[in-house]
Amino acid sequence: QKEVEQDPGPLSVPEGAIVSLNCTYSNSAFQYFMWYRQYSRKGPELLMYTYSSGNKEDGRFTAQVDKSSKYISLFIRDSQPSDSATYLCAMTTGNTGKLIFGQGTTLQVKP
């Protein structure tokens, strides 16, 4: 069993839709949770960074962490074609750069 599970998709939605992306994990020691966006042939860029359980909102993006269920989510409101990318969840125990990544979910937002 992988430490972090993420449905690879692909996920295709119409422009303006609400997108929900999810990851589950098995290691209860994870405390820091991140979502990265990766465009084709590019490196990942950080979208959201959260510590422990709770919600965090940044513009059209909302990250949720439920440590009791070992489940994290990223919601994208009013999705745009420019949101088409691969979204990677990542987590770590000690707030270091040694991250455990999910497989990534490929999202396509159609105009």
Task: Give the footprint of other proteins on this chain (CB under 8 A).
Answer: 4, 6, 8, 32, 34, 41-46, 49, 88, 90, 92, 95-104
CB-based contacts of 17: which residues, under 8 Å, 6+ apart? 79, 109
Min CB(106)–other proteins separation in Å: 10
What is the C-alpha to C-alpha distance for residues 52 and 64, in angstroms, rounded to an integer? 10
Tell me whether residue 5 or residue 75 sits nearer to other proteins (CB atom).
Answer: 5
Min CB(21)–other proteins separation in Å: 13
Min CB(43)–other proteins separation in Å: 3
What is the C-alpha to C-alpha distance for residues 46 and 43, in angstroms, rounded to an integer? 10
Pair of tokens at residue 33? 């949770």
